Structure 1
Amino acid sequence: MSDGTLRLLLPRFLRRFPADLAAIILLVLATGVATLAPIVSETPLRVVLGLVFALFAPGYAFIAALFPERGPSVQEASTTDSEAGERSIANPNEAEQEAATDAGLTERADPRREGSIDGIERVALSFGLSIAITPLIGLVLNFTPFGIRLVPIVLSIGGFTLLASAIAALRRQELPAEERFRVPYRAWAGTARAELFAPETRLDAVLNVVLVVSLLLAVSSVGYAVLVPKSGESFSELYLLTENESGALVADDYPQNFTVGQSKPVVVGIGNNEHEQVDYSVIAELQRVSIQNNSTTVRESRTLDRFNRTIPANESANWTHDVTPTLTGERLRLTYLLYRGSPPGNPTVENAYRETHLWVNVSSR
């Protein structure tokens, strides 16, 4: 199947775009799917596409919009330099005329080409500008109601990249066909094929093998790092919060004085940083304790409630627990015990995975 036939398989609006800009648009769309789709977002594809999306695509589209014309290639530049040297030897007057042109005394033959950049400069500037543009977009989002969150960041960077790509395509269309920048895919493929499969010397063949092995090792290393990331520290959080007058959850102003049979709310929260989905069990107890010589003894305990929560990896869950005391007394301990999986038959602070508590007073009326 020829390249022209493959191009016809693309949507019409992509066929009108230059090939490099069409690839950028497809990258933006693929990153959006890999980042936001429920199943695909959990695969390493999200990381791979996300890095290219954030560190290359916006800068490349911006450079393409600034410089729609093609720059002189290395071969053209070397040919021009050699021809200039030959003219300086054959005819000194022509060399003087060319020097005057370079000094700006006469009009250049092709000012648009002289003001453009070549492929290597485009790639370098694409990375540099992307590293500058992406944080700037994040800074702007920080001062908006959306904040620096995944969906606003993906939409903002993607929108900027699509807008810059559209401007770049329009600017290229305004130029003559021979002046438009094009990525020389076929020339690169032909050169690579010739270098790999038809080396001129035995040394070139050895260097080609070393290059291929090095690339395979590099790709394998990156793939392993993406597919088998370091898990880091694994832990779970158990915390108590209250709701203030504005409706926000805060770690302050906990209820301290209760009456038997009357309920007061406390927000219980679990943070799962175990790098895997976990089934949690929480037991709420009201305990009468005595403390002697830094040793705490539970003299009486009443179970107030039990909860089961399944929390995905690296996520949190909060819920409101209406505390209804069944014991009376001063300085009772309202204790929450957290377990991974089912709790033991005799749950205590000592065998709990995590524990948190409040000191409360409960009166009979």
Structure 2
Amino acid sequence: MADGRSLWLLLPRQVRTLPADLAAILAVTALVNVAVFAPVIRETPLRVPLGLAFVLFIPGYAFIAALFPEDGDGPATADVVDSDGDESEDAQRWTVTNRSGIDGIERVALAFGLSIAIVPLIGLVLNFTPWGIRLVPIMISVSAFTIVTTAIAAVRRRQLPEDERFHVPYREWLAAGRAEVLEPDSRADTVLNVLLVLSIVLAVGTLTYAVVVPPEGEQFSAVYILTEDDDGDLVADGYPTEFVQGESEEIIVGVDNHEHRTVDYTVVVIEQDVEVVDNETVVHEQRELDRFEAQLEHNETWHHEHDLEPTMVGEDNRILWLLYPDEVPEDLSQESTEYHVHLWVDVAEPDED
């Protein structure tokens, strides 16, 4: 205990005397950054509740604290002295204090509203910077805004007389709660307190379970093909359709895993000489061109760049990318898997010259 006290005294006085609400703001900001950037913790559901609290409340509260360092108590009472010179409780009248602060309820309401306005504005500014709207720039910018406004709020509160500073009466709340729970006025109050505690525990447990063990949605995989445009971005457009036998074109195959489990995938590339007869596609001949394997976790995406080199000469030949989770059957066709994508190509003979 003494060691902990000594370490606490090593901190600067400004940190040790930081108001409880501002210290909580900095603590939540630090926890959110750990939950987002720490290698192991960022994969846990902890980042969801912390991220929601951070985005929807923390920046706005810090901004309000910087704008209104004063306490915002409501009307105060002043005693009126009666004709006998005694103070009369019945003669008390309400007087309005001249403080310019706001009370706790107003701070909470404005904190939500301003957070919803501040975070998009920060994102709008980042959109015109080289960093863009990405997780890391957003986290750094919102965290920096919160820390700066919290520091301003702390300085402005210290400049006020102690009785005019805003403070969170958490000690009074704890004392009142302890007295209400441990020292009830009647047996009915005891029963109600027990039911209230059980309800809170049940609500917290249900919320925790919903966050930690989210319901599984639809399970599926996906396969698709992409190309690279002039800016280096991957797009689902501009596919090569004209080939010369013996020459290849670069193409990218993509695979998405939404199976809620780790899956070993195999992508088989085949070419087919087909003909449409009575609205049905008849395969006259097919050959396997290539095969790729990848192991993906849930919600993981894999892009694989490869050279496509058809060998069958003819028009309207079909190239198929067949995606097989877990095992590859002997029959390689569209009917043997529900995940496939195709491309129609024309392949010409090479020029003899």
Same fold flag (TM > 0.5): yes
- The unaligned stretches of length 5 or more in structure 2 are 86-91
Residue 191 of structure 1 aligns with an amino acid whose one-letter code is A
1:232 paired with 2:217, answer: yes
1:360 paired with 2:330, answer: no
In structure 1, the partner of 2:111 is 126
In structure 2, the partner of 1:175 is 160
The equivalent position to 1:270 in structure 2, one of 255, 259, 277, is: 255
Residue 207 of structure 2 aligns with an amino acid whose one-letter code is V
1:8 paired with 2:8, answer: yes
Residues in 2 aligned to 1:211 and 1:43: alpha-carbon distance in whole angstroms: 30
In structure 2, the partner of 1:64 is 65
Shift of 1:336: 0.6
1:184 paired with 2:185, answer: no
Residues in 2 aligned to 1:323 and 1:140: alpha-carbon distance in whole angstroms: 42
Shift of 1:39: 1.6
Q: How high is the sequence identity, in percent, across the aligned residues?
A: 51
1:244-255 map, 5 Å: 244-255=229-240
In structure 2, the partner of 1:217 is 202
Question: For 1:20, what is the secondary structure of its paired residue?
Answer: helix
Tell me which moved more, 279-288 or 11-20. 11-20
In structure 1, the partner of 2:283 is 298
1:291 to 1:216, Cα distance in 2 relative to 1, 3 A: same
Residues in 2 aligned to 1:195 and 1:333: alpha-carbon distance in whole angstroms: 76
Contact 1:331 1:359 in 2 (8 A): yes
1:176 to 1:358, Cα distance in 2 relative to 1, 3 A: same
TM-score (norm 1): 0.84
- The unaligned stretches of length 5 or more in structure 1 are 92-97, 103-109
In structure 1, the partner of 2:88 is none
1:31 paired with 2:32, answer: yes
1:322 paired with 2:307, answer: yes
Contact 1:340 1:353 in 2 (8 A): no
Deviations along 1:183-236, whole A, 9 cap, x unmatched?
A: 222222111111100012233222212221221222122112212223322322
1:317-356 map, 5 Å: 317-356=302-341
Residues in 2 aligned to 1:41 and 1:349: alpha-carbon distance in whole angstroms: 39
Shift of 1:306: 0.5
1:302 to 1:48, Cα distance in 2 relative to 1, 3 A: same
Question: For 1:350, what is the secondary structure of its paired residue?
Answer: helix
* Structure with the bigger percentage of helix: 1
Residues in 1 aligned to 2:47 and 2:133: alpha-carbon distance in whole angstroms: 18
In structure 2, the partner of 1:95 is none
Residue 145 of structure 2 aligns with an amino acid whose one-letter code is F
Residues in 1 aligned to 2:188 and 2:221: alpha-carbon distance in whole angstroms: 58
Tell me how many residue pairs correspond in the alignment.
Answer: 343
1:163 paired with 2:148, answer: yes
Residue 52 of structure 1 aligns with an amino acid whose one-letter code is A
TM-score (norm 2): 0.87
Tell me which moved more, 6-15 or 302-311. 6-15
